[in-house]
Amino acid sequence: MRIATWNVNSLRARLDFVLMWLEARQPDVVGLQELKATDEEFPRTAFQDLGYEVALHGQKGWNGVAILSRLPVEQVRRGLPGQESFGARLIGARIAGLAFFTAYCPNGKELTHPDFERKLGWFDDLAAFWRDADAGEAAVLCGDFNIVPAPVDSWRGAAADGRLFHTPDERRRFQALLELGLVDLYRDRRGDEQAFSWWDYRGGAFHRGQGLRIDMLLGTPRVAERVTDVRIDRDFRKKRSGLTASDHAPVYADLDLDDG
DNA sequence: ATGACACTATTTTAGTGA
């Protein structure tokens, strides 16, 4: 089973690009973030034509998350309890025995902005939700976490410590998810290898290698031990066929879950 | 040092993103 996460930065603006990627990589289950579309605006049929079921939690203008799946989708859950006012940022479902959740975690805006404290509170609620979710042995929590877990995950290295995304307060929240038993599948598989999943559109950041790793696939040990490959698909951060890429690359993993 | 890019919305400028 190939699972993936991707912040598409507007599904309506990115539809043809996303379809190209699906054709190229053939993922089975995909978590999408930053749809910037209502459920009514979401082009369901374009995905159904490629064999994907769609589960949606959209809203007008901003945020929005979705799951695409070539396998039957059951028990869809929308929203993070208690955090509905912070936008449509979490969706989960049960797919072929796997509990699959994808999240668009808050940005925080600036350290002095009220949204920074709200971001920390959102992560506290996410951890509480996950602790109580009873997701089962095989579970995935993926998405755009908007936290750089460690200096190696920033192009600036430790020089970025303390900036937004790189604060001890944020890193503690990410660590709290790992302490609930989740494994960072990229880091687990790749050791200390440096790779980024997001690059600023401005200033040639992508070509200068100035990125961050903020898009993650987290999995329970049951999932982590079945991983055969993890890739950050930076080729799809590049413009292609005249179409503009998202500022995030897709991240995908292959799981050998055949025996359940 | 600034802004640089690409998206959104009671759109023609301002806000958001990371």
Let me know if residue A84 belongs to a domain.
Answer: yes
C-alpha A71/C-alpha A248 separation (Å) is: 25
Let me know if residue A35 belongs to a domain.
Answer: yes
Q: Which domain holds residue A57?
A: 2-255
- Global confidence as pTM: 0.96
- Residue A132, classed as helix, strand or coil, is helix
C-alpha A186/C-alpha A151 separation (Å) is: 15
Mean pLDDT of all residues belonging to chain A: 96
Pull the structure tokens for residue A90.
């979490």
Let me know if residue A127 belongs to a domain.
Answer: yes
Rounded to whole angstroms, the distance from the CA of residue A62 to the C1' of nucleotide B11 is 16
Is the per-residue pLDDT at A258 higher than 90?
no
Contact A252, A231 (CB under 8 A): yes
pLDDT bucket at A135, cuts 50 / 70 / 90 = confident
Let me know if residue A105 belongs to a domain.
Answer: yes
What's chain A's length in residues?
Answer: 260
Span A221-248, pLDDT tens digits: 999 999 999 999 999 999 999 999 999 9
Is the per-residue pLDDT at A129 higher than 90?
yes
Let me know if residue A23 belongs to a domain.
Answer: yes
Let me know if residue A184 belongs to a domain.
Answer: yes
Q: Where are the beta strands (DSSP E) in A97-145?
A: 98-104, 139-144
Pull the structure tokens for residue A97.
């025995």
Is the per-residue pLDDT at A96 higher than 60?
yes
Nearest to A187 by CA among A120, A89, A253: A253
Let me know if residue A251 belongs to a domain.
Answer: yes
pLDDT bucket at A257, cuts 50 / 70 / 90 = confident
Residues whose beta carbon sits under 7 Å from strand B: A 7, 9-10, 12-14, 34, 36, 60-62, 107, 109-110, 115, 144, 146, 165, 198, 200-203, 212, 214, 244, 247-248
User: What are the Cα distances from residue A39, in Å, to A106, A119, A142, A158, A241?
Assistant: 20, 25, 21, 41, 28
Task: Report the percent of chain A where pLDDT is more than 90.
Answer: 97
Identify the CATH number of the domain in which residue A233 sits: 3.60.10.10
List all residues 6 or more positions away from A259 whose beta carbon is below 8 Å from its beta carbon. none
Let me know if residue A260 belongs to a domain.
Answer: no
Rounded to whole angstroms, the distance from the CA of residue A109 to the C1' of nucleotide B16 is 9
Give pLDDT, residue A259: 55
Span A150-166, pLDDT tens digits: 999 999 999 999 999 99
Q: Domain total for chain A?
A: 1
Is the per-residue pLDDT at A27 higher than 80?
yes
- Amino acid identity at A187: R
Span A102-121, pLDDT tens digits: 999 999 999 999 999 999 99
Is the per-residue pLDDT at A130 higher than 60?
yes
